């Protein structure tokens, strides 16, 4: 056990977060996302399973340790709703609250078309698969730098 590390973060996930460098991206996927097939195509080929957890607690825990990239306009990306889909996305409001509470620089999300999101996810460092049931709950974080 370590002090001040959120218990939801596994040793495997902590290792991945430490390995990532400035500009690397991390996908936190909902339960409908093709996480295993996308993860095989990522830079590290890593899929981190967080079954039984939703995206908001995972996002909140990660942001306690993970700096967002301040050198890009929008270091947080969401999969935009497919045109014509009448799905509501209240989880995005939860994400805004978590991001603002983290103290990281955050103005708004970058919205990425569904298939472009999948292609971008394939270029990520790793994918975290959650059991999140909300639709359009996938999120990409771009890692920043730690300034001493």
Indicate which residue of 95, 118, 125, 136 is catalytic: 118
Indicate which residue of 69, 95, 125, 136 is catalytic: 69
Closest CA to 120 of 133, 139, 134, 104: 139
Would the CA dihedral through 43, 143, 20, 13 be positive or negative? negative
Indicate which residue of 22, 71, 85, 107 is catalytic: 22
Burial 48-81 (b: 16+ CB within 10 A, else e): bbbeebbbbebbbbbbeebbbbeeeeebbbbbbb
User: Residue 53 catalytic?
Assistant: no
Residues with catalytic function: 22, 69, 118
């Amino acid at each position: 056990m370590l002090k001040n590390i959120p218990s939801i973060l596994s040793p495997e996930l902590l290792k991945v977060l430490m390995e990532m460098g400035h500009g690397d991206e991390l996908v936190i996927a909902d339960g409908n996302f093709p996480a295993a097939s996308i993860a095989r195509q990522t830079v590290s080929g890593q899929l981190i399973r967080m079954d039984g957890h939703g995206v908001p607690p995972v996002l909140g825990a990660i942001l306690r340790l993970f700096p967002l990239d301040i050198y890009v306009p929008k270091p947080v990306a969401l999969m935009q709703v497919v045109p014509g889909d009448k799905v509501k996305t209240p989880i995005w409001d939860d994400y805004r609250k978590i991001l603002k509470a983290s103290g990281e620089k955050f103005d708004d999300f970058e919205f990425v078309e569904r298939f472009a999101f999948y292609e971008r996810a394939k270029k990520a460092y790793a994918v975290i698969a959650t059991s999140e049931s909300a639709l359009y709950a996938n999120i990409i974080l771009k890692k920043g730098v730690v300034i001493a």
